[in-house]
Amino acid sequence: MVKVELAVYSDASNQAVVQTPGRRFPGSVIQGDSLSILCADARQLSQWIEANSDANDDVRWLAQGLQEALLSRLLHYQSTLKESGIDLPYMRIAAPSDLVVLVEQDAASDQ
């Protein structure tokens, strides 16, 4: 763990805006429990799209990309807390297998 000073532009509950050293722009902090909920919502959306094969490819790309981005952040969050000996603020532990694949990688390389 590294302790640094942050510029805090807003400390509003669940809407904190901070700037870390070396970054040009501030970032928006997403609490771990809120991140878990967003990730679960993106997974549900992907599952619905997967079950409805008539969804167009643009919607599939968008949903999968959203879920991948959120899942990646959540997995990083989980591993960071585990390494630091901090309990997760939610019960269901996410895994890479949570990704609902809507667009195969071969198709991704064609884009």
pLDDT of 108 higher than 60: no
Determine the average pLDDT of the residues in 53-70.
Answer: 90
Q: What is the pLDDT of residue 62?
A: 93
Q: What is the pTM of this model?
A: 0.81
Q: What is the pLDDT of residues 87-97, one digit of tens each?
A: 999 999 999 99
Q: Given the structure tokens 């990730």, which residue do they identify?
A: 39
Band of residue 109 on the pLDDT scale cut at 50, 70, 90: low
Tokens matching residue 81: 């807390």
Q: Could you give phi then psi for residue 51, rounded to 5 degrees?
A: -75, -20
Tokens matching residue 109: 């390389």
Q: What is the pLDDT of residues 24-43, one digit of tens each?
A: 999 999 999 999 999 999 99
Closest CA to 1 of 86, 69, 74: 86
Q: Given the structure tokens 């997995």, which residue do they identify?
A: 75
Extended beta strands in 1-111, E state: 7-10, 17-19, 27-28
Q: What is the pLDDT of residue 26?
A: 94
Band of residue 20 on the pLDDT scale cut at 50, 70, 90: very high
